[in-house]
Structures are given as C-alpha cells and as structure tokens.
Structure 1
Amino acid sequence: MSIASRPAGGSSFPAAGGLLIGLAQLVSLLLRGNAVGVSAAYEDVGECVWWPFYSPESESESGSGDGSKRPSLKTSSIAFAVGIVIGSRALAVLTPGLLHLSGVPDVPMLQGVLGGFTMVLGARVAGGCTSGHGITGMSLLSISSFVTIGSALATGVLTASLVW
C-alpha cells in the first residue's frame, strides 16, 4: 500500500488496533476474570471518599450486613485508571510529536472539567461508557450493550441529519 493510499491515521493495518484491543480484553478476562474498563473507578473513588464516614450501625439497620466491619475498599479499577493517566503522560513525554495533531482545539479548563463530569455521570447512569459497551459489552453479547450502542448510533445519525 502506498503512502498516498493509506488511511488518515497513517496505519497500513487499521484492523490491528481492533485486534490488539480484543487481545487485551481476552488477556484481562483470563488473568483477572474481569474485562478491561474504567468507569467503575468513578464509583470506587466515591466509595473511598465516603469510606471514613461509613457507619457499621447504618449497615445493620438496613439489613444488608452484620454490622461488624466496614466494607473493603476496591482499588484495582482506580489503579487501572491511574495507570492509564501515567502511561498517557509517559507516552506524551517520550513521543512529543504525537501531541501535535491537527484539528484538536484548545479547551478551557472549566469546560473540560464540566465535560468530564458530564461524561462520568452518563457513564455511571448507563452502566458503563460507550466504548466499554461497544468493546467489552458487545463482545460478551450483552443485550444492554447492544441497546446502548444502537441508541448511540441512532442518536448520532439523527443529530447529524438535523444539524447538517
């Protein structure tokens, strides 16, 4: 394949990315018994924040436990999310040329934070982010993931047809 006929990303094998993502999912399922995903980290961070204020009496009153101890903190999803941030930063430092993408606008800090918060809220309401539903959920034949991705695509088509 000549350089002139390569896809926009410059890769000669666009399916390689998909295969690598699928391989990462398979390795995660085999080694951890869990699919790769980050949206659970948001809930786990919230539990870490509220953990010191947890009252064993409130658990026994609700009938959901014996009230003898606090629930254990889940940190593996938080560690995974932090690893993504650290890995992204390391990649940016080691290969600064990747940061100079054309067409990427500068976003004000407040707008980025509000957009991120909205995305996190939507991910928790939907039971996972769109890419998680598309990559993990659909590969596991999850009906809710098929509904989520179908809804996202239909909304995108409808929005595009109304806007353009």
Structure 2
Amino acid sequence: MLMDLSEGQIKKIAEIISSRLGPDASQSRIKSLAARVIDEMTRGGIEAKEIQWSARPVSTQISRSLVVNALGQDKEGLGEKLKSFVDGRALRLTAISDTKLESLRSVVAIIDCANYAADLNRLKFELSALCEEAGFKAIVQDGGYYGAF
C-alpha cells in the first residue's frame, strides 16, 4: 500500500499531522507520526479517508507557554530570579510553585510566551542556565506537551 501512496498524499498526511500538533511541532515528530500512520494504513489495508485521528490539536496559547521544572538543594531565590528574568522580556509568569521538602526545593513555573517573538528554543536554554546558576537542575518544556494546565 505504501507504494500506492503518491507524494501528494504523503504530504497531505504530514500537513494534517502538523496542523493537529500545533506550531511548535518538530519536523522529526511530524515525520515519525506520518510514518506511523502510513505503517498502520499498510498493515490494515485501509484507505487514508478511513483513518481516524485521535490526537487533539494543541492550542496556540498552550504551545506558546514554557514549563520550568527545577529541583535542587534547599536554596531560596530561584523564584525571584525567574520573576526578574520574565520581567526583562516580553513574557508573563502565569504561575509559580516553590515547594520545600526536607533538604530539597522544587520550583515549577509556567511562563506565557505568546508575545515573545524570538526563538523559544534559545529561551529554553537561557532558562535552564538561569536555574543551573542558582544551583538547580531543570527541565524546560513546551506547554503543549502537557495539553492543559
């Protein structure tokens, strides 16, 4: 069946997947899902029009958010550093949680980047570096991975 698909049909599948994943979807993620759909079509012997896509689209508002999840020794101040960082750019701190558990501190922040015109990947690295400077290990992800808050 794969041989029966035209280049146009394969591109159409990729376009549909891209539209469902939102503007932050990586090309590798789109290609991976397109390959999966084509594989399912090939194994099932079904036509493209019969495929039911179950993933829900990611809204732009969520996908233009970043989630910072930082964990480190009990040092205060990361929350204030994140607030200062956000205030210095076209960003908005949607929510922040600072939790202490014995000798550890967890900081989770949701940052609205809807008005940020520059590259979000660079912003992710800057946020990670800020957390590391404060003594925390951090994961910074697109809000779209979470679907909703």
TM-score higher than 0.5: no
Q: Give the helix-richer structure, 1 or 2.
A: 1
